[in-house]
A and B are shown apart, each in its own frame.
Chain A
């Protein structure tokens, strides 16, 4: 995987790989909150957009490198998650999801109004400085490939770290049953706030990467509802509450949609991508609500032999360790 760009020079194939890594990374960030803690956000575009705008504003207004801007974007996104979380976590289940849609849409409307400060609805292009790695701009796609792969590796590392720390156990307890978790002494509001902070920070990094990759930003791109949808979608299709679920989901969905779009020829068939996604989502929810990762491990176990235990449901890897049996 690391050597792939050396062998493949096809820009289209590399572009698909970059999208796979990027959305697997966003999915991993979403999965910390949505998968482990079962707080089903449909507003992660808010943090994607804040990350994208922070680094772009710093770059264009102050000439600060997007490498610094990326971290700043993550911090801004993480800080924004505090008040947003304080409001939205007052709601449960579907109403939490609706409130998060509301916050992302409200931020988009806000940035549409910032005409002088942030270019309003027109958006802006990122000044092209040629090949300047210090400003996160590269001549070929290979560098973006490694950067996206690095982000994904970082996202997976954070997921594994969270899964193995005390935070992971608390998260799964919150996800299973908030009242029971509170009853055994888990500080539920704090746990939710902390994981939202981490999830928002990572999503902010993805926002910076994306604008540096496509060289353009406007509120409709940065706060696109599609980003919120895909963040949740790759995790659910792959396997919610598992480290590799978002990776599998992204590896299935992104190439499928890219190939479909290039086959149909772009703009003439707007809507095909989301129609395809929604059919896949309906099928997964009706036939395999724990995601396809479980199916893959089951098939693998059947071929290799019965030594491995059968696939466990969402968060299963953690569930056996949750101190909630009593």
Chain B
């Protein structure tokens, strides 16, 4: 490594990511060991500022693999980050209602009350953005728009990074003793205050089963990728510009570790499912139900055209609804050199 890197900060969302597998299997640490680089989890920091970098990516020499909404927001807010890769793991994205609701299809949502979370103190409210995206995409399938439903906000205090997390038996667990009522819009649905909400992934499926909810639509299984495009489709693998400029080898090594972890996953469905269950803090059954029996094959980081188009579409969506101050061209955001370098010099399949 030309310019030695003292510390690499990493973070990955508790969702299926190649970086998550690279980190939790020890692969990333082993890759950097010969260079004397320390690998540090930024969400485990005792400093809230550092933890918040999972969302605003302000930390120098850091890598993040996870939901695209905070990454897009950070870039739109002037943060100097670059996308090294995009991964597309389709997952269930549900609009749900109660079992006895008259809402049966998407059209029935017209003039109904739809509950969305609203975090008052966060820089970027990804929970709200993903719910609105899911709702809009569902409504459009029937020629409807968000104006046709009544949005009901469910406020939350605090931020997403109030407490440090630790990996305990594989699960990212918040250390704080703070009791904060969660799933407020689900409670609103159960109380009959609203008619429908958005749920996604393994936890969404589990909650739908727990409360016997009716699935109005799963847009995560729609054939059109732009309908499925949301916070996790595609996920972004990003680093800061400084890392690329000063430690290009490190950026290549990160991407190499991610691609190798994903290749390992393709050949190890059982172990990968266990990894994902631990990471998501759910059961292997719910992982398979939410991410498919082929969840291990869905871990593929590349710069596919489909993912780039979806990322642009999502960026435009976020600007349209005021989540980001202005739109930008995602192709300018993507830095293809590390991937190109790997494809030229190292035998990795993508």
A binds B: no
Binding site for B on A (CB under 8 A): none
